[in-house]
Each structure stands twice: as structure tokens, then as C-alpha cells.
Amino acid sequence: MSDFYQTGIITTLHQLGKPSLERLESELHGFSRTRPVALVLPALYSEFEGPAMPGIVRELSKVKYLKEIVLTLDQASEQQLEMVREFMAPIATEVNIIHNNGKRIGEIYETLGRNGLDVGPPGKGRSAWLAYGYVLARAQSSVIALHDCDIVTYSRELLARLCYPVANPALDYVFCKGYYSRVSNKMNGRVTRLLVTPLVRSLQQLVGQHGFLVFLDSFRYPLAGEFCMTTDVARVNRIPSDWGLEVGSLAEVYRNYSPRRVCQVDIASTYEHKHQALSADDASKGLMKMTVDICKSLFRTLASDGVVFSDGLFKSLMVTYLRQAEDTLMKYEADATINGLEFDRHEEARAVEAFAKAIAMAAQVYMENPMGSPLIPNWSRVGAAIPGIFEMLQTAVATDGK
């Protein structure tokens, strides 16, 4: 059980006591009449062969309050699409699959490109973005929830808690981010623990109490892939197409809404998903690519809000970060010790070194090209540029589904 301490400028919804899932779901069922919920699942085909997907499908087949599920599928052939469809069959809720490698959806991306709308390279960001578009096009849901498909310990309680703050009209949050403790026999979630939080705090030291930094620091798990928002948020937000997705999305929410309408919710007592390998040398792979993307996204967001980045600032940042990270590391070591968790000090220190390298790399990329790859445009603009796009998207998914 957690404490009930509120930190930061956003609301934190803890898991206190043993709340009944039964009650939560029946309330959600009530809300779903006025605020129907769509669930967006970004997935790779390989995840359907993994250990997590059967459990997720099983749990989802018990959920009654969802209006629709949109599975946005990447790296799958036509044949595999059929297998995925078969796999999702036990779910009674309407499931629509966006086949991102398919001919029709490919054509949609081309259409967008032809009209000067850069939707970026294939990836989770772009696929999730298209799924929002599809939900908007159908206009049947007013809440969109999203979570990853690699959660081994998935329970539908996670989904219920994630949707609740936004679906409940009395609470009236527009955006809700999930958080959870990533603890098995040791502490996981290194990127958040050792990169994002120390980096954000170092930046605060250097540039002062910048609004976005305070906002970002309020999140207990800014990189969590689980969140829920109203369709309005999905309509006006622009998102990065790379690994900066989470940070970039938070930046957009910060820009468009008051922090009072943003919350984070404790969604799971245990959480386990696949880990990314740390490759210190190859920046385009795995965790390294992710960290560089995150840092770039952070720098660009701050710069767009008036923060001046210079060579000197970056140099100071490196030093400040290292000290912050080392301090943090000691805190976690103490925390692990008292809880009897494994803690590989050396491994953690190596991670900090790798992250420092990533920050340097990101700084270099930023200095060379401050604009970087643009964000994917928001759906309001897309709709204005290509009036028929929503219909086209619906037709594409419907025809793929036949």
C-alpha cells in the first residue's frame, strides 16, 4: 500500500487499501453511456508470439465498458494479420485493426506525405497517432486509453484505473498518466530513475524553475506508456514520432491544458515487461536510441519555450547531471537495501555513464540541428488539409477488416 502524499503540480491518485475492481468496473459501465471509452493498443506482430499477449486478450475479454478497441499493428504480413484477427476473436468488444504494413494504410500515409504532412518514420508514435485519428473518424468514443502490449503481469484492473479519472465526469480530468512501481527482485525502470529525473532536476538547477520542468518532475513515471485522454486532447496534440513520444506528449499536454486537469494514477501493484538491452556503443539501437531521443525531445521542448541552450550550458549540464545521478544512485541503493532488493551498483553506474554519453550525443545533435524532425501534425490540421481523410481512413480499416 502506498502513502497518500501529494507532490508536484498535478494530482496523484494513489492505490489506497484494496479497492474493488468490481465497483470500479460497474461505475465505468455507467459512465460509458455518456463517455464511451476507446482502447488503443499499439502492437508489433512479434508481441503476439510473446508471453504477454494471451494474458492481455484474456483479461480484455472480460471488460464490458469499452466501446471499441483499436489495435494498431506493425511489422505484420497479410497472413499474420489474419492470425492476429483470430487471436483477438475472444474479445466481445468491437476490435478494429489498423494494418500499418498493409497496402491501404500505406496509401493513407502516402496521401498525408503528398500533402506536405510529415508523419515521420514508422514506429509506435506514428501508429498510435493514426489510431487516434481512426477513433476521431468514427466519432463513437470520447475517451481514449492506451497501453503497451508487452505487459506480462497485465490485469484489467490496470485499464479500469487508467480510464477512471478521465471517464468519470465528476472528476473531469483531460489527461491521466499511469504509474507503477517497477520492482521485481530489483528495481527496474532505469531510464526514468537514472536519466529523466536527474536530468530534469539538473536542468532546473541550471535554468531555474521552468514551468515545464516542474510539470515533468511532478510525474512519478514520465516514461510510462500507459495513459488516458479525452478525444479533444487527441485532436489538438502533436506528438513526436520517435522515442521522445512520452516526453513530447507531456509537453503538448502542458502547453494546451492547465495542470489542474492532469493527473497520474497508480495502476498496478506489480508490473513486468520486456527489457531493452543497453548498448553503449550503438546509438541507433535499443535503450541508447531511446535515451538520445528522449533527451533531444526534452531540449527541443524547452528551447521552444524560450530556454537558451549554449555550449556552456551543455557543459555544465553534463557535470550537474553526473552529480545528480550519483546522488540519486545512492538514494536508490539505500532504498534497495532496506527492502532487501538486489542492487548492482556497478551496473547502475555503468548505466549512468551510458546516459551521460547519450546526453552528450543529444546535445551535439541539437546544436547541429535545433529544429530536428518536426512533430506529427495534430488531427485538426490534418482534417483541414485533407477534408476526406477521416472517411478514407475508415474505409481503409473497414476494407482491411473484410
Partner 1 sequence: MACCASLTFYEAIRTMDNVTFRAEIHEQIEKAGNADILVGIPSFNNARTIGHVVRAVQAGLAKYFPDHKAVIVNSDGGSSDGTMEVVHKTSVEDFNAILLHHRVKPISKLAFSYSGIPGKGSAFRSIFEIAQRLDAKACVVVDSDLRSITPEWVELLVKPVLNGGFDYVAPLYHRHKFDGTITNSIVYPLTRTLYGKRLRQPIGGDFGFSGKLAQFYLTKDVWESDVARFGIDIWMTTTAIANGFKVAQSFLGAKIHDAKDPGADLSNMLYQVVSATFDLMENYADVWVPIRGSEPVTTFGFEYTVGLEHVNVNTARMLKLFRESLNNLREIWLDILGAGDLREVERLGALSDGEFDFPLSLWTRIIYDYAIAFHQKKLPTEHLIKSLTPLYVGKTASFILAAEQMEAAEAEAEIEKLCMEFESSKDYLATRWK
Using CA of residue 240, residue 246, residue 247, residue 250, what is the dihedral sign?
positive
Nearest distance in Å: CB 182, partner 1: 17
Kindly state the smallest distance separating residue 62's Cβ from partner 1, in Å. Answer: 6
Shortest separation between residue 155's beta carbon and partner 1, angstroms = 4
Q: How far is the CB of 322 from partner 1 (least distance, A)?
A: 40
Nearer to partner 1, 154 or 243 (CB): 154
Q: Which lies closer to partner 1 via its Cβ, residue 270 or residue 399? A: 270
Nearest CB to partner 1, comparing residues 83 and 349: 83
Minimum Å gap between C-beta 208 and partner 1 is 44
* Residue 62 DSSP one-character state: T
Q: Provide the edge-to-edge strand list for the sheet that holds 175-180.
A: 11-13, 262-268, 175-180, 227-230, 143-146, 37-44, 66-74, 94-99
Cα separation, 43 vs 145, whole angstroms: 14
For residue 85, the minimal CB distance to partner 1 (Å) is: 12
Q: Which is nearer to partner 1, 20 or 140 (CB)?
A: 20
The residues with which 227 forms a beta bridge, in sequence order, are 146, 177
Burial 265-302 (b: 16+ CB within 10 A, else e): bbbbbebbbeeeebeeeebeeebbbbbbbbbbbbbbbb
Residue 69 or 317: the one with the smaller Cβ distance to partner 1 is 69
Interface ranges with partner 1 (CB under 8 A): 18, 20-22, 26, 55, 58-59, 61-62, 89-92, 153-157
Smaller CB separation from partner 1, 60 or 376: 60
CA-to-CA separations, 290 to 187, 276, 347, in angstroms, rounded:
19, 10, 18
